Amino acid sequence: MKTYGRLPLVLVRGAGVRVWDAAGREYLDFVAGLAVNSLGHCHPRVVAAIREQAGVLMHCSNLYYSVPQTMLARWLVEHTPYDRVFFCNSGAEAVEGALKLARKYAKKRWGEGRFEIVTALNSFHGRTYGAVTATGQPKYHQGFEPLVPGFRYVPFNDVAALEAAVTDKTAAVLLEPVQGEGGVYPATDEFIRVAWEICQQRGALLIFDEVQCGLGRTGRFLAQEHYGVTADITCLAKALGGGFPIGALLATEEVASAFAPGDHASTFGGNPLAAAAALAALRAIEEEGLVANAVRVGSYFREALERLRAQSGLITEVRGLGLMLGVVVKVPAKQLVSLCQERGLIVNAVKEDTLRFVPPLTISREDVDRAVAILQAALTAAVREIELNP
């Protein structure tokens, strides 16, 4: 089905930050499977874990425990402020679980009438019905109405609008600490602090969607650590499996207790193979110092982009945190994507004028130097094309 606007590129192999196409051409991959391959392609520890687990036990129903799933859950609760974990297959599924848990918790604690979910405009939470309804971009709603009832939207980083939107009908506020698909916009300190305070005061839950910005991407293990607050529920996916599909819903004991057996489930969620891959990926992030590398190389990358902005005059803004950066350009972003690809760099556009960079957390300064040089050449080529074809 035509659900993606695919580019004319067939990738056949990957290793670290590099991928190769069917013709054997090499590319630097600064998309990383849309922030999935945070360890780069085919990280040896993830590959070994999958190979070993595939020969032992690939799947069993969640009616039973499995050793990899138990070990993964333990790792997550020992490395985050949360007490309970639910495993699923994707970010959208994690958001769906969070929405259900929030409404179930609100009904259990407050009774009928508290069901609204407040989210931010320009957000992106996934493609399933609850997740796409939570997404604050009308273009993703068109053609799918009627949507799930009970959602309200406020401008991102608008404190006054958030204060007005959260009422005694609000079950939860759902936010991305850094909006990714929306154009790589970090939340302000004030917005997150006020969101937490309002939820505390008015009995609503705070949910962070860290599907894209979590797990070291921004230079903290969880992006919420930048803001000094802890959400009641956090959604994870993308980087969690090191390239293997798995999502997770993390919650405090009190909130998680709203779910009873039969309220929610996922047949494949956190199966032994996915859990083994995720455990290997998380251990690699921790033991190989990749969060610190995201800080170091992310800072170096940002400085290089700022220099390019000053030199070229074709970049108006560089924003983001760690290795999650957005670059606003004066030429069509999709044109730059093609020109970069022709020169051996894979990037993607999230707006007509914005490039998103979410490379593996394993990248080096040399990788950054090469990527920025290609971007510089692509900007020059874009201007030349525009001049020749005004």
Is the Cβ–Cβ distance between 284 and 352 less than 8 Å?
no
32/217 Cα distance (integer angstroms): 12
329/390 Cα distance (integer angstroms): 18
Q: For 234, left (φ over 0), alpha (ψ -120 to 50), or beta? A: beta
Q: Is the dihedral of CA 177, 183, 189, 195 positive or negative?
A: negative
Residue 238 catalytic? yes
Per annotation, catalytic residue among 209, 232, 353, 367: 209
17/323 Cα distance (integer angstroms): 13
CB atoms within 10 A of CB 189: 12
Helix locations, 222-342, DSSP H = 253-256, 272-287, 290-312, 333-342
User: What own/partner pairs with CB < 8 Å and gap ≥ 24 does 106-115 have?
Assistant: 106/171, 106/172, 106/204, 106/205, 108/258, 109/203, 109/258, 110/203, 113/168, 113/169, 114/168, 114/169, 114/170, 114/171, 114/203, 115/150, 115/169, 115/171
Per annotation, catalytic residue among 124, 156, 244, 357: 124
Residue 334 catalytic? no
344/88 Cα distance (integer angstroms): 35
Per annotation, catalytic residue among 221, 238, 353, 357: 238
Q: Which of 380, 335, 340, 381 is nearest to 357 (CA)?
A: 340
Q: What is the 8-class DSSP label of residue 121?
A: B
Residue 104 catalytic? no
Residues annotated as catalytic are 124, 209, 238
